[in-house]
Every structure is written in structure tokens, then in C-alpha cells.
Amino acid sequence: MFVMELSYTAPIEAVEDVLDAHIAWLDGYYASGVFIASGRKVPREGGIILAAGVSRAEVERIAAEDPFTLAGVCEYRITEFIATKTSSDLAGVRENPGV
């Protein structure tokens, strides 16, 4: 699983100019089952996306195609972790590393 942390690199007005495209991009990855949660940071200086079921290379490609990235209004920090324990609602994304 991946934590995709984005930080805004432009004024919020520039971020809002591409917000609709960003939301459509999010919706596509929710529909495909890759994204399982997302939202704004508080204070509003970026956001967090949880992604599962893809490789690191794939999640990096996904981040690169975010309209926010393409517009140059954010940067991503991607952290991989092994979700060995989850709520029952997230049981489908639990991982067993065999350790």
C-alpha cells in the first residue's frame, strides 16, 4: 500500500484552477479500485491519497499524471508500507509479507 502525500507548490488559487480535473482524475482511480481514501491536509497545504494493489512504478506513474502535477502546483512524496492490520472494511487490502 502507498501513502501519496502531495504538497502544494503554488498559491491556492492556482490549485483551485485545476481542482475539477484533479477530482476527475481521482474518480477514475477510485473506479479502478486503486485509490481507497483521499482528502485535504489541515491546514490546506496539500493532500493525502491511499493507494493499493499497484507497484511503486505504477503509483509513481499515477502521481505523474495527476493534473496538479501536470500544472506544476504540487509535488508528491510517496511512502510504501505493508498493511498487515486493517479495519474489517479494508480487509481486502491487507498484506501478509510472510514474516
pLDDT in tens, 41-84: 999 999 999 999 999 999 999 999 999 999 999 999 999 998 88
Distance of alpha carbon 75 from alpha carbon 89, whole angstroms? 30
Segment 7-39, tens digit of pLDDT: 999 999 999 999 999 999 999 999 999 999 999
pLDDT of residue 81: 93
Q: What angle do CA 29, 32, 33 make, to 5 degrees?
A: 90
Q: Which long-range contacts (CB under 8 A, 24 or more apart) does 32-40 make?
A: 34/62, 36/90, 36/93
